[in-house]
Amino acid sequence: DAKTTQPTSMDCAEGRAANLPCNHSTISGNEYVYWYRQIHSQGPQYIIHGLKNNETNEMASLIITEDRKSSTLILPHATLRDTAVYYCIVRGALSNFGNEKLTFGTGTRLTIIP
Amino acid sequence: GAVVSQHPSRVICKSGTSVKIECRSLDFQATTMFWYRQFPKQSLMLMATSNEGSKATYEQGVEKDKFLINHASLTLSTLTVTSAHPEDSSFYICSARPFNSPLHFGNGTRLTVT
């Protein structure tokens, strides 16, 4: 699975958009970009994933550059409850044959400031 | 709502005793579940892959005789930490994947060995 690079920490004002970058310059053509977050003392929570098109759901938007070497997770209106560690993970398509494990890096610690 | 349930959420045990942690998939069958461990201020590290009806697959450096995994049904995997010692104190998290859905995580079990 491709390696990812994320900033160690970021701050964002409450109510503003939080933009979390992720570099994955060695991503291969069949690898997806997944985003999870982990609020303190909880298990990771799935946010969103994409292959090459931008994606949006009720939690966030995922913007993937045309060359797919980087992506940005956008939380449009950050709240205090969005304070968490955000993990960007790149891996091949999940199959249904037991290889769904994810490898976590160190992530970005996002702090939402009141 | 939660799709993966872990129990207990917190456990304290004495050194030398064994502790069992349960991971259940809710409303779906999981032939494979994953067990992670997370030490304070560190990222999640995959310990083992639990396979229903067969032996678990352990990651390098994880002692299979110390961390016993049983996946006796399609909705339940258990992790038993045998002869626990203070260095086994950690946050243990399981995960499973509903069909054609992202990987989901339990809320973790905080183990403290005194």
Residue B1's pLDDT is what? 58
Range with the poorest average pLDDT among A5-9, B14-18, B72-76, B92-96: B72-76
Question: For residue B19, is pLDDT > 70?
Answer: yes
Strand extents, DSSP E, B39-89: 45-51, 57-58, 67-73, 76-81
Output the pLDDT for position B74.
Answer: 92
pLDDT confidence of residue A97 = 53
Q: What is the mean pLDDT of residues A14-34?
A: 94
Identify whether the C-beta of residue A20 lies closer than 8 Å to the C-beta of residue A10.
Answer: yes
Compute the distance between CA of residue B74 and CA of residue A18 in angstroms, rounded to an integer.
Answer: 39
Facing residue for B103 by CB, picked from A42, A102, A105: A102
In tens, the pLDDT along B35-51 reads 999 999 999 999 999 98
**Is residue B61 a contact partner of residue B46, using CB atoms and an 8 Å limit?**
no
Tens digit of pLDDT for each residue in A65-102? 999 999 999 999 999 999 999 999 998 776 655 566 78
Backbone angles phi, psi at A37, to 5 degrees: -135, 155
DSSP state of A94: P
What residues of A are in contact with residue B56 (Cβ under 8 Å)?
none
How far is Cα B90 from Cα B96, in angstroms, rounded to an integer? 20
Q: How far apart are CA A97 and CA B31, in angstroms?
A: 9
Q: What is the pLDDT of residue A98?
A: 53
Residues of B in contact with A96 (CB under 8 A): 99-100
Query: What's the CA gap between B48 and B64, in Å, rounded?
Result: 9
Q: Flag whether pLDDT at A64 surpasses 80.
A: yes
Ramachandran assignment for A109, one of left (phi > 0), alpha (psi -120 to 50 degrees), beta (any other) = beta
A98 touches B at CB < 8 Å: yes
**pLDDT at A56 (0 to 100):** 97
Nearest of B32, B84, B75 to residue B56 by alpha carbon: B32
From the candidates B4, B43, B90, B101, which should be mutated to test the interface with A, based on the most A CB atoms within 10 A?
B43
Residue B2: pLDDT band by 50, 70, 90 thresholds? low
Average pLDDT of chain A, as a whole number:
92
For residue B93, the chain A residues in CB contact (below 8 A) are: 43-44
Question: How many C-beta neighbours within 10 Å does residue A23 have?
Answer: 16
**At B15, is the pLDDT very low, low, confident or very high (cuts 50, 70, 90)?**
very high
